[in-house]
Structure 1
Amino acid sequence: MAKPLRFRYSPEAWSGERVHREIYQPLQGNLGAQSVTPRFDTVGGWETHRFEMDNGDLALFARRDEEGYWMGNTETPRSLWRTEKFSWPDVPYPVARWAQRELLDTLQEEDPWLADFPHVSWFFLPVFMSKDGRRSTRAFFREHAAGFPDAGWEEATQFVEDFLHAGAIDAYRHTMAGKLGAAEQVDRVRMSAAISEFVAGKILVEAGYGITPEIEVSTGHSLDYRAERGTTSVLVEVTRPQIPRRRAAAGPVAAIRDTAETKTSGQLAAHGGGAVLFVDCSSFTREDWAPVREARPDMHHRPAVVYRARPGGHVEGYRKGTVELDLDGAIDFFD
């Protein structure tokens, strides 16, 4: 399965000659690599290398004393196959910072429109520059408006940018960015479901809650968020019904009920209650949302919040059951 970019760590000495022999030459022979001058400097005594392939792949290598770090969206040279992988926070800061600057500069050179969205560029860098997902993940924002119907890509991307600007989930970047996936093809349903967690996070933050994603509970499952404010601590699970015309359910109201029932009979049933179910209908068009707004269908789980967010920032919805979260400042309720 395709994964977001991570570093490979080699606890061995790497001379310039060894880098040339065991990294550059295999890449050059297989992919037409060029060894070019890195675009940015680093500190801490690290020697850095940048390799650009004829097919657009990129590889970076930093070495010092008895260690080296590799990162690339290309084939890994044989000499690094058995090395351990590390996420961005787990490598020396000068190495992570240098690699980030190299990749961000390359990303925004390839897709200049991303320069207007620095937090989106940084947060999703592990998938935007991944081996298999670098085209599909960028296209999801630019060509599919991040899953928002009847919306322009600029306002949809700005919606995510505004949430990420708050820094509420920076510490969980690898996990949360990875939810978008790193597959070669755009999977709008799965990617939109991933964005629903960012929508939910934005709602909670705007309501004044601190959030922690991926909360493991006693059943071994993980729920999407813990929301905390003062003495309040509430678990939140998010689900996004598929666009009604893409599922067998007879219309938007049935789509919501079926999706909520699936979540309730699975993850939430195993948890045993106590979590708030967020039903995110942001994939619905205005026409799809209208009958839901009128009927306000009940859920198989309470408490629940059903809502539709628009990339311009407006969110409206209704509640079922006693929701122990004060969301009036973030959602325009009509219940």
Structure 2
Amino acid sequence: MKMTAAALSAYGPPDVLRPVEVDVPEPGPDEVLVRVKAAGVQPFDLGVREGWVPPGAEPGFPVVPGNEFAGVVARIGERVADFAPGDDVLGYALLGGYAQYAAVPADQLVHKPVAMPWTVAGGFSGNGQGAHLALSHLRVGPGDTVLIGAAAGALGTFSVQLARAWGATTVIGTASESHHGHLRALGAVPVTYGEGLVDRIRAVAPDGVDAALDAAGPEGLRAAVAVTKKRDRVVTMVAMEEAAPRSARLGRHPLGGAPGRTHRAVREGGGGRAPAGDVPAGARGGRAPADRHTARPRQGGPHGRLSTRRGARTAGSPGPGGPRAGRGRVRATRVT
């Protein structure tokens, strides 16, 4: 049986990603065959398109990028007990997501919440796991005042909701003024980027913040260091070079192994509201530059994220949508 996939037959610019006919994958005894309905496009995919081979992937063409998707269970392996044909699911796998079907280990899937739109579910796992990982390392808990940089983006929107769910008393989110309403709706106190950022944060938290997650860049990291009581509770997901002279590098961390953090992010982060997105992280052992996405978020779509329905076409991504690659790993740096 054949299917359509968006695949690479060479590495290079966006137009090397083309629709091709390939065999439908055969699920193993512990795997689930998912008919993909929506998939996310992430900076990670840029690294794959330019020639980076994720750990565990076999080199050679064709390469079907993507590991972040949502869809309907088509078939299950003989040892799978938690899913049945017809179930709505979301999850990730090592490559293969830019396709009509993906064979996925059952422990990398969770059931999609009924209220969650497909375009959100298709890009859920990357940022859901990234936010869960970062806030866990920051030990966010009851009574904390937490600073989230780039809080209106995909990772930030997850992080605000998780911090609130874990008991943070005050969550301060940096964002452009046009996104302040979004942050207030999530329960965050918005502050605007730019000159005077530290003063604006201190006006909200005069005694400082307990933990800070930077997803904005060097300016955001410098502000986080200035206002956070202890530097071991500052993490950046993007400003690696800025952090390097004073950091203890966490390196690449598995984002949950099995349903892990995706499952907990679905359960704890608020099903349908969480957007889809990516931590702009480590395609080549460093940060994948956000200004070189193969596709851009649609205006009016999920905050900071592109997710496509199967059959939709996006810039540089023809054919059936496209997710994240590489078994949910992220590079984070903790400032010390």
TM-score by length of 1: 0.26
More helix by share: 1
TM-score by length of 2: 0.26
More strand by share: 2
